[in-house]
Amino acid sequence: MIRLLMRCCIVVIAWLFVMHGRAQDRSARVTRVGFITVLSGEYSDVGQATANGARLAIKDYNSANPAEDVRLILEDDGGDPKKGLSAFQKLRTVNKAEIILPISTFTIGSIRELVNRERRITLILGNEPYEPTDDYIYMLTPSAIPADVAFGKHIAKTNPVGKIMVVTSENQAIIRFGRALREGAGARAEIIELPSGLTDYRSIALAILAKGPVAIAFVALPRESALTLKALRELHFTSKLYFDESVINSITDFKTILGDLSVLNSAELLKLASHVDPIFVDRYVRAFGGNSRLWADYAYDAVQLALKLKEKRPEEAREWLANNVYSGVSGEIQFDERGLRRPEYSFVPLKDYL
């Protein structure tokens, strides 16, 4: 009887050692993913959708890799670069996050030098607030720069005679796209910048119409575009209108400010192609509802791709990204030499998306 008890004790102790070892092994495999997005303020709907996309990505990764324990740490930059920098530093030093994804454009501008100095592969959504270079930053949303150049050429071809006005925001991230469109449109195109904090949109509208444009292209922050268009409508403009995709991403602003959207009926839209996986859409709606899923697919892919690269050294990861096409829920992802996702685009009637 004593021998039997001793054998049982030995078995129990051995089992406890095995379980303890497994627990230690699992603890050693913990990966923390820091995710900085806009969870409050003007763009919080998009930020919440990206956070949900990240949650799904973490859930799927853990299900497919039971020996690993990936944990998501969400941080809010509120659209403030300084707050984004603080969130990044907290994730680095306090949370000890192995992967940090500063999804928000507002944040990436404040940490660019830091991530490049640390040779940290950084996947972002949205546009960089500076000219992209061959560095450690990769943009998961399709790059609008080549598309804007092509849009400018299209506008010039469609309107072979007369002035073309390009309305853009006095914002580092946005103005690059206005300049790209002007480049494509050629010498007949002129940029007008909307200063931050502008309140007198009538004066801006008068300045635009004083040029006698045959075409007006908007590549600006959505609310600023809507307020400028409202002032133009009050002055009974007749120019053909052109918009980049931000108008449909923020159509609520236009409805609130303009009320009647008939002024957009003859406008043309630069539409970036979307190949989001319908299975992902269904899963997202089931999990979070269908109110807004804008950029959730890109966020999902950012997390999954970052986890795929986590065991690679920085230069190995850069080489992999330069030479491979990654198939994600947002479609095929391929980067150019500056880390920009190659876009597919078309020019379509805006009314089809209202």
Every domain of the chain and the residues it spans: 30-143+275-345, 145-244
What pLDDT score was predicted for residue 27?
52
Give the pLDDT band of residue 103 (cuts 50, 70, 90).
confident
What are the pLDDT digits (tens) for 51-94?
A: 999 999 999 999 999 999 999 999 999 999 999 999 999 999 99
Token pair of 145, please? 């720069």
Give the residue among 100, 33, 49 at the shortest CA–CA distance from 292.
49
* pLDDT mean over 288-301: 89
Q: Is 242 helix (H, G, I), strand (E, B) or coil?
A: strand
Angle between helices 296-309 and 278-288 (to 10 degrees): 110
Give the pLDDT band of residue 15 (cuts 50, 70, 90).
low
**Architecture category of domain 145-244 in CATH:** 3-Layer(aba) Sandwich (3.40)
As a whole number, the mean pLDDT across the chain is 90
What are the pLDDT digits (tens) for 217-267?
A: 999 999 999 999 999 999 999 999 999 988 988 888 899 999 999 999 999
Give the pLDDT band of residue 12 (cuts 50, 70, 90).
very low
State how far the Cα of 305 lies from the Cα of 300, in Å rounded to an integer: 9
What is the rounded end-to-end Cα distance, in angstroms, of the chain? 82
Q: In what order do the strands lie in the sheet with 137-142?
A: 122-124, 137-142, 340-341
- Which range of 166-180, 314-328, 331-345 scores highest in mean pLDDT? It is 314-328
What pLDDT score was predicted for residue 145?
87
Do the domains 30-143+275-345 and 145-244 sit in the same CATH topology, yes or no? Answer: yes
Residue by residue, DSSP assigns 67-122 as: T-EEEEEEEE-TT-HHHHHHHHHHHHHTS--SEEEE-SHHHHHHHHHHHHHTT--E
What pLDDT score was predicted for residue 172?
79
Give the pLDDT band of residue 130 (cuts 50, 70, 90).
confident
What are the pLDDT digits (tens) for 23-50?
A: 444 454 899 999 999 999 988 999 999 9
* pLDDT mean over 132-154: 92
State how far the Cα of 217 lies from the Cα of 276, in Å rounded to an integer: 28
Instruction: Name the pairing type of β-strands 345-349 and 268-272.
Output: antiparallel
Q: What top-level class would CATH report for the domain 30-143+275-345?
A: alpha beta
pLDDT at 204 over 60: yes
pLDDT at 305 over 90: yes
pLDDT at 315 over 60: yes
